[in-house]
Amino acid sequence: MRKQGAWALAIQKKRWPLMILALFSLSTATVFFMRTSFDSCITSTTSISCSINSITDDFGEEKDTSTQIFSAALVGSATPNPLDFMNSKLVLLVSHELSLSGGPLLLMELAFLLRGVGSEVVWITNQKPAEPEDVVYSLEHKMLDRGVQVLSARSQKAIDTALKADLVVLNTAVAGKWLDAVLKEKVPHVLPKVLWWIHEMRGHYFKVEYVKHLPFVVGAMIDSHTTAEYWKNRTRERLGIKMPKTYVVHLGNSKDLMEVAEDSVARRILREHVRESIGVRTEDLVFAIINSVSRGKGQDLFLRSFHESLQLIKEKKVQVPPMHAVIVGSDMNAQMKYETELRNFVQEKKIQDHVHIVNKTLTVTPYLASIDVLVQNSQARGECFGRITIEAMAFQLPVLGTAAGGTMEIVVNGTTGLLHPVGKEGVTPLAVNILKLATHVERRLTMGKKGYGRVKERFLEHHMSHRIALVFNEVLQKAKSHTNSRILILFGTWIDHRLYNCLRRD
Ligand SMILES: *[C@@H]1O[C@H](CO)[C@@H](O)[C@H](O)[C@H]1NC(C)=O
Ligand SMILES: *[C@@H]1O[C@H](CO)[C@@H](O)[C@H](O)[C@H]1NC(C)=O
Ligand SMILES: *[C@@H]1O[C@H](CO)[C@@H](O)[C@H](O)[C@H]1NC(C)=O
């Protein structure tokens, strides 16, 4: 009961819908959905290919006030919103699906940023489940509440909007299917104002049927330099097409996440609660992977490294606190074979007391508050960006990451974390790095602080808005000049005609 008292106090003091939600979300996603009705925030998801791990309801508290007032408040504040020039622009957002995975949630985040500056935002979802779904219903209503118009992807209205829009954002490679299927012969009219936001880098996305219009859109926006490079190579070598002008836009942490991360009371309460729920004591040391459980995310290799580090500790007789490995993101239904493999390994090595496997959850903040080190062990080409990495850094956690993909653009090796190679070659280096952070407390804490500093410098929501604003600005100019040149050509032919008539008359 003592604990509840502390809770009530914290809530009264902070009035945080987020913290309450954070605790709710310790149960599974489904339960979370049944209990809350989206009036506050969805913080994160771990079930995504590209690890864009969170979305938050940034204007949560202003829910009842109009967008107009909110944007006025923004304009009035010291720093003008970089997206202000989008005021009254018509933007069509094309999502391949509507779900709690990273891509759609990130697009929703953009929708709300644009609403915040007074853009007219229209949303369409290309692929919808045959049966009505609670998640789709809830997300659509969340958008309608914020003044986003939701249209059917195949409606005439959607086509009209595409033709009228100042900007069309196609989200993910797969959304490309919508162009031909719906716009048909009007595709060429719309392409010059399409900005393609790409978050994936798996081979099966390089299909002509998805991306054949890519060379003709006004621009592509990609989450990391590595991924942009990879798209450039693959489209050229596999499909023989050329990427349009490509902009790299690193993601940023939401305001809600930063609010929790920067509140020591909240962090402490969440930390106590989660540690108690998984059976880890205050002084224990926790290394965690927070990602959907799958071979690509490297949980198996992490467990091998962790086991190796325990052996090193025994061999060298070093003094460290009790160590734990936590894997957040389990989904038995999705990855039965792999999950069984993980559990068998734990049994075989008799490390049950040290390993905790937690079901996938919608919000990761409670876990970020309760662990000591984030492990980002994505394999092969790594993460496209890896939003969980910047989220962990916001919580002053050092990161042990694979030297691949977006992780390399976020983690400064030796300063905000330590990098190890992908694959089996990485197992021992990761074990050694785990040991390093376990034995050097000061170093671990300093790395965490530096990581936080790096987030404050470049991975906040306003940084992301600023980067997106630069892209939108350029893309709008180009789209406009394209329209203008078409008008000029038309005008040109008309003059020719008149001239011709004049000459004939003479
Ligand atoms: C792209 O191709 C070039 C040369 O073919 C190569 O050097 C580079 O590593 C490739 N980049 C990626 C990300 O695959
Ligand atoms: C985790 O998910 C499985 C099904 O995937 C379920 O059977 C189990 O009860 C869940 N565990 C918790 C603690 O919610
Ligand atoms: C990271 O730093 C360590 C130690 O300085 C070094 O051995 C390793 O090669 C570096 N890795 C990368 C990918 O830079």
Q: What is the pLDDT of residues 35-58, one digit of tens each?
A: 232 222 233 333 333 333 332 233
Exposure string over 384-423, b if 16+ CB within 10 A, otherwise e: bbbbbbbbbbbbbbbbbbbbbbbbbbbbeeeebbbbbebe
pLDDT in tens, 251-300: 999 988 999 999 999 999 999 999 999 999 999 999 999 999 999 999 99
pLDDT at 61: 29
Lay out the sheet containing 373-376: strands in order across.
355-359, 323-330, 285-290, 373-376, 399-402, 417-420
> What is the average pLDDT across 163-173?
96
Q: How does pLDDT run across 483-492, given as a tens digit for each residue?
A: 765 554 444 4
Q: What is the CATH architecture of 55-252+461-506?
A: 3-Layer(aba) Sandwich (3.40)
- Residue 498, token pair as written in the block: 């008149």
Q: For 60-69, 229-238, 475-484, which range has the lowest pLDDT when averaged over its residues? A: 60-69
Of ligand 2's listed atoms, the one at least distance from the Cα of 331 is: 5
Q: Give yes or no for a contact between 92 and 120, defined as CB atoms under 8 angstroms apart.
A: no
Binding-site residues, ligand 2, Cβ < 6 A: 28, 331-333, 359
Task: Give rounded-to-5 percent helix, strand, coil for the chain.
Answer: 55, 15, 30
Q: Is residue 337 over pLDDT 80?
A: yes
Report whether residue 411 contacts ligand 3, using a CB cutoff of 6 Å: no
233 touches ligand 1 (CB under 6 Å): yes
Quote the pLDDT of residue 44.
35
Burial bucket for residue 220 (CB in 10 Å: 0-12, 13-18, 19+): buried
Would you tell me which CATH number, out of the four given (3.40.50.2000, 3.10.20.90, 3.90.226.10, 2.60.120.10), belongs to the domain 280-458? 3.40.50.2000
Based on DSSP, count helices (H) and strands (E) in the chain, helices before strands: 21, 13
Q: Which atom of ligand 1 is nearest to the CA of 233?
A: 1
Of 396, 469, 443, 461, nearest in space to 89 by CA: 469
Q: Where are the domain boundaries for CATH 3.40.50.2000 in the chain?
A: 55-252+461-506, 280-458
- Kindly give the distance from the C-alpha atom of residue 89 to the centroid of ligand 1, in angstroms, as a whole number: 38
Could you tell me if the CB of 380 is within 6 A of ligand 1? no
**Strands 399-402 and 373-376, bridge-based pairing:** parallel
Q: Is 238 in the pocket of ligand 1 (CB under 6 A)?
A: no
Full-model pTM? 0.81
Q: Identify the nearest ligand to the CA of 380 by its number.
A: 1
CA dihedral 262, 373, 223, 428 (to 10 degrees): 170
Query: DSSP label at 180?
Result: I
pLDDT band at 133 (very low <50, low <70, confident <90, very high): confident
pLDDT, the chain, mean: 83
Distance CA 205, CA 249 (A): 20
Q: Which ligand is nearest to the CA of 232?
A: 1
| For range 456-485, the mean pLDDT | 91
- Of 7-11, 111-115, 281-285, least confident by mean pLDDT is 7-11
User: Which range is least confidently modeled, 147-161, 195-209, 245-259, 343-357?
Assistant: 195-209
Residues 180-238: pLDDT tens digits? 999 999 999 999 999 999 998 877 777 888 999 999 999 999 999 999 999 999 999 98
| One-letter amino acid for residue 337 of the chain | K
Query: Which has the minimum average pLDDT: 81-85, 98-102, 254-258?
Result: 98-102
Q: Are 6 and 269 in contact (CB under 8 A)?
A: yes
Give the pLDDT score at 1. 38
DSSP string of 195-247? EEEE----GGG--HHHHTTGGGSSEEEES-HHHHHHHHHHIIIII-----SEE
Whether 286 contacts 370, CB under 8 Å: yes
**What local confidence, expressed as pLDDT, does residue 164 receive?**
96
- Gap from CA of 383 to ligand 1 centroid (Å): 17
What sign for the dihedral angle of Cα 245, 251, 254, 258?
A: negative
Task: Give the residue, out of 233, 236, 246, 383, with the most ligand 1 atoms within 8 A of its beta carbon, to mutate for a pocket test.
Answer: 233
Average pLDDT over residues 16-37: 40
User: How much distance in Å is there from the Cα of 335 to the middle of ligand 2?
Assistant: 13
